[in-house]
Amino acid sequence: MATTATILHADLDAFYASVEQLLDPSLRGKPIAVGGGVVLAASYEAKAFGINSGMSGWRARELCPQLIFVGGHFRDYQRLGDAAINVLNDFTPFVERISIDEAFANVAGCTHLFGPPREIAKAVRRRVRAELGLAVSIGIARTKHLAKIASQVAKPDGLVVVDPEAELDFLHDLPVDLMWGVGPATHARLAEIGVHTIGQLAKIPGYSLERLLGPAAGEKLTALAWNRDPRQVRTHHRAQSAGAQSALGRKPVKEQVFRPALRHLADRVASRLRAKSRPGRTVTVRVRFAGLRSVTRSVTLDAPISATATLAEIAEELVRSALADHPEEKTLSGTDRLFWDHRGPFPMNSASSPKRTCSLSSKKGRYWDRRRRVSVTADRSILDPGRPCGLRRAAPYHQRCCD
């Protein structure tokens, strides 16, 4: 592990909302949210009222009656996100992009050209502000985990450098939900046993944490609480999954409502697959009902696909399956989400909460279901991942992902 702090984590502040304020200067200084039925992103002015990503639109309007909703300009998000990452690439080739608006960079090999890491970070922040009109917060530390936490502490529009000799002093006083892998569900479990800071988590015996969260999560969080993170900045890895979502608002459960949305999402996802020559095998659809209740359906195909029409047809059947299992639901609310995975069953991260996904997989005794037009197992109990029987049987293909 490095002995000096040379890993940068750069994170654009309130990215979607900031881009909207950049494109429309009349929105600057006002509370805005991207979305409609569900808040996809909120400006800092909106966050001051308690509005966060994943919140329902009606609840957001309750908290802030003057809140302004905007539809979103996703091509501009991609364009400006790419431009910001390219600023990092001008300083070092060792850049690992982890989302549209954030990336790690290792500057150990370029300090003789551009100065110490702090000066490099300052230069990056100046250029992003001058060239793009956006604010970026940067954290600098010896490890990726600590650099990411430092960038969160630096928000908004700040820079934090963690002294290698004071890492644990810095880390252990911070809230536990700043840790990579602690989402709302894990945070709630830790709160039940009185763990609110990373320092308190570090003092929990490993076996106790593993009993509470499971062996993998317990071991990982214990290591991160002591800043044991051997991961390096990876520059060459291809995306294994892709997704798209669409805010629907409160709409009746009818085909003429969800079919156009799914076809739009399928086109967005499939066009990305074809552009990258990356057909996928697993299709996942997440449907959110009134009251923000949501269900997920997923299927893994025998052969990869990238055709818009095929992807849309499979997604429609998955939605029909979900709706058939919940006839009491009469209103769609929030977002329809469509995900693709190159490798097989893989849960997608959400900005709001961890999710569980069950995927169908071809095994012995399979047959061709003409209605679904996908190869499924003969045991139809797996078709409903919400039932305990289905969850048990599909356990080998079920993974949990913490945000």
Per-residue model confidence as pLDDT tens digits over 76-127:
999 999 999 999 999 999 999 998 999 999 999 999 999 999 999 999 999 9
CA atoms within 13 A on the CB side of 402: 19
pLDDT value at residue 31: 96
Q: Which fold has domain 164-237?
A: DNA polymerase; domain 1 (1.10.150)
Pick the more confident residue, 249 or 393: 249
User: Six-digit token pair at 215?
Assistant: 């062996």
Looking at domain 241-401, which CATH architecture does it have?
Answer: 2-Layer Sandwich (3.30)
- Cis (ω within 30 of 0) for the bond into 156? yes
Q: Is the pLDDT of residue 374 over 60?
A: no
Helix (H) or strand (E) holding 129: helix 117-132
pLDDT value at residue 348: 32
Pick the more confident residue, 287 or 369: 287
Helix (H) or strand (E) holding 315: helix 308-325
How far is C-alpha 9 from the geometric centre of its chain's CA atoms?
16
Write out pLDDT tens, residues 117-155: 999 999 999 999 999 999 999 999 999 999 999 999 999
335 backbone φψ class: left, alpha, beta (φ>0; ψ -120 to 50): beta
Beta-carbon contacts of 188 under 8 Å, excluding residues fewer than 6 positions away, are none
Domain residues of the chain, as ranges? 1-162, 164-237, 241-401
Q: How far apart are CA 186 and CA 354, in angstroms?
A: 9
User: Six-digit token pair at 243?
Assistant: 């997704």
May I ask the CATH class of domain 1-162?
A: alpha beta
The band of 284, judged by pLDDT with boundaries at 50, 70 and 90, is confident
Write out pLDDT tens, residues 308-351: 888 889 988 888 888 888 887 777 654 455 565 654 433 333 33
Write out pLDDT tens, residues 11-36: 999 999 999 999 999 999 999 999 87
Residue whose tokens read 């659809």: 285
Q: For this structure, is 102 an active site residue?
A: yes
Beta-carbon contacts of 364 under 8 Å, excluding residues fewer than 6 positions away, are none
Q: Is the pLDDT of residue 157 over 80?
A: yes
For residues 266 and 273, the answer to whether their CB atoms sit within 8 Å is: no
pTM of the shown model: 0.67
The per-residue pLDDT of the chain, averaged, comes to 80
Write out pLDDT tens, residues 246-257: 766 677 777 877
Q: How far apart are CA 284 and CA 311, in angstroms?
A: 10
Considering 102, 167, 219, 328, which one is annotated as catalytic?
Answer: 102
HEC string of 39-55 equals EEEECHHHHCCCCCCCC
Percent of the chain residues topping a pLDDT of 70? 79
Q: How far apart are CA 87 and CA 55, in angstroms?
A: 33
pLDDT value at residue 278: 84
pLDDT value at residue 398: 33
Q: Is the pLDDT of residue 371 over 50?
A: no
Write out pLDDT tens, residues 40-70: 899 999 999 999 888 888 899 999 999 999 9
Average pLDDT over residues 214-235: 91
